[in-house]
A and B are shown apart, each in its own frame.
Chain A
Amino acid sequence: MSTVVEPVRAAAAPRPRPARQGPRRGQRWRLGEALVPVIAGLAFLYLLVPVAYTVAFSFNDAGKSNLVWRGFTLDAWRNPCGAPQVCEAFAHSLQVGVASTVIATALGTLLAIALVRFRFRGRPLVNLLVFLPMSTPEVVLGAALLAQFLSLRVQLGFTTVVIAHVMFCISFVVVTVKARVASLDPALEEAAADLYATPWHAFWRVTFPLLLPGIAAAALLAFSLSFDDFIITNFNSGAFTTFPKFVYVSAARGIPPQANVISSFMFVLALLLVVAFQVVSSVRAGRRQRG
């Protein structure tokens, strides 16, 4: 919004809390205001109940199927690869995730810089092309790619899954990095150019370090989208199994508790990563405030 000056710094600095409303007006509104934390609390509960369920059932003494609670055990945690195929699928998901993240982040970052920093003919068209994959449901993206792979008689597997994941991750990377590029002052790069830095040097020494938080956020987003994708993967993977596909396919005959273990493990890992991110950024913000 154009009315807000420097949204980034404004977000970092603590702002004065708005004055408490006097009792004279809006009884009903105050009821509404009082309800906000209640609704938000219930909503958080709604969001987190299935997560808690998934984690809890990783400790279940499950027999054949992990459907009913039969007692606490650490068996699945001690032997996370104990169920057939589960670790193989997990490894596949990691490989696909890393490959797609690297490619999509590189391509998307370049696109984002071009879109924000340059004026050229056809820019609206490029913007549209970046927006379209995001506004197309996964099932259509998956079906379209599969139709192409079938017509070219391409063997489905690891490569086709990575191709598909990069395709839908690029747009999200562009959107995320664009916001970061837009918040950078182009004068910094111009200053580098004035100091006789080559465009290559200016990019790696000035632009890239400043973009890094945005690029890291985009990469994290791309990885989580890729790692958790089911629909597009299902269309383009053939016999190749990723973790979500493994879970979906085994849902019919019972999901082994090892799947819950892997999912819980990833959950804790990602949570720690995000918390570390938050702490680092708030420490930095604090340091910046103090000068």
Chain B
Amino acid sequence: MSLAVALGEGGGPPPAASRPTRTRGHRPLLLPGLAYLALFFVAPVAVLLATSLYVPVPGGDVGQYQPALHGQNYVDALAKFWPQLVRSFGFALMATLAALAIGYPMAYAIAVRARGRRLLQGLLLVLVVAPFFTSFILRTIAWKQILADDSFVVAALHWLHLLPPGGRLTATPFAVVCGLTYNFLPFMVLPIYASLERLDPRMLEAGADLYASPFTTFRTVTLPLSMPGVVGGTLLTFIPASGDYVNSSLLGNNTNTSMIGQVIDARFFKVLDYPTAAALSVVLMVAILVLVGSYVRRSGTEELL
């Protein structure tokens, strides 16, 4: 089993043979993992929530806060940083749609077109995961240099008049969205591949036998059956993209591309404004949970969870 298949195999109910049967003896298996998640996921989120309500120590130094229930922190943080929050979701949405538009044909080519040719399939899957094996920051910096103002790409676009004089590729929202799309594309391809791979080709033949056009077969058979993969892929792309700040800080500029992750990072480390950073983190987390929850419910793939 390749890494690729493994990643995509989260969705779908287990086969009937392995429905849970036993009712005793699970505690020793559960406890270590649950204790870990309680200590280092639940508790930190609770601390984050508490921190978001702190107030500065009166007369204290920068970075000194005391416990309080100051809900106004949220109002202030949102009033100041709502553009970055909206932009984060906008960029993440654009990157997700672009990754879907590119990733679905890729997954389709690997799973359906290369079906039966195991070597080719394996090779293509390796190429999909290959970028994971070079540092993603180095790859993002590579994009920055490939698209830089004095690069061959920009010169060629100028020569072809595809880019207005003085136009540039880096330090633009376009570059940030491209970077996000690039970085999370494998997370889109793998789950879709996994669900297309499980598709029984006889279903497609049945569609053709029933005089459905290939397009109708795709729309009524292939696409619905690959939905768990599409939902999984869009989540695995959208969630990390909305919180990312590596792409926006390396490929963007500071005026109209900064995303919420950059703000949280800067509030934490540069300004030592922990309550605002915490409040923005809570807002980001809750917003994503609400979006993801309603999306999963609407697409009817709750068993994915």
Contact = CB atoms under 8 A, between A and B. Distances in A.
A83 interface: no
6 contacts: A33-B214, A40-B110, A49-B142, A110-B28, A111-B30, A129-B37
A1 B43 contact: no
A224 interface: yes
Closest 7 CB pairs of A and B: A137-B243, A182-B14, A179-B9, A144-B44, A217-B6, A270-B133, A40-B109
Contacts of A183: 14-15, 18
A133 interface: yes
Interface string A133-146: 11111111101111
Interface in B217-262: 218, 225, 228, 235, 239-240, 242-246, 250, 260-261
B146 A135 contact: no
B127 interface: yes
A35 to B, nearest CB: 8
B36 A43 contact: no
Contacts of A195: none
A179 to B, nearest CB: 4
A209 B33 CA distance: 21
Interface residues of A, number: 132
Interface string A116-130: 111110010011111
B165 interface: no
Contacts of A128: 305
B51 interface: yes
B126 to A, nearest CB: 5
A252 B108 CA distance: 40
B145 interface: yes
A69 to B, nearest CB: 10
A270 to B, nearest CB: 4
A96 interface: no
Nearest to B246: A230
Nearest to A32: B215
Given A135-B289, A148-B43, A231-B245, A116 B30 contact: no
Given A128-B305, A179-B9, A263-B138, A11 B40 contact: no
Contacts of B133: 224, 266-267, 269-271
Given A231-B245, A235-B268, A176 B6 contact: yes
Interface string B259-291: 011001100100000100110011011001100
B199 to A, nearest CB: 8
B77 interface: no
Contacts of B17: 185-187
B205 A145 contact: no
Nearest to A247: B137
Interface string A206-244: 000000011001101100100010110011000000011
A212 B189 CA distance: 25
A282 B37 contact: no
B102 A43 contact: yes
B166 interface: no
Contacts of B239: 134-137
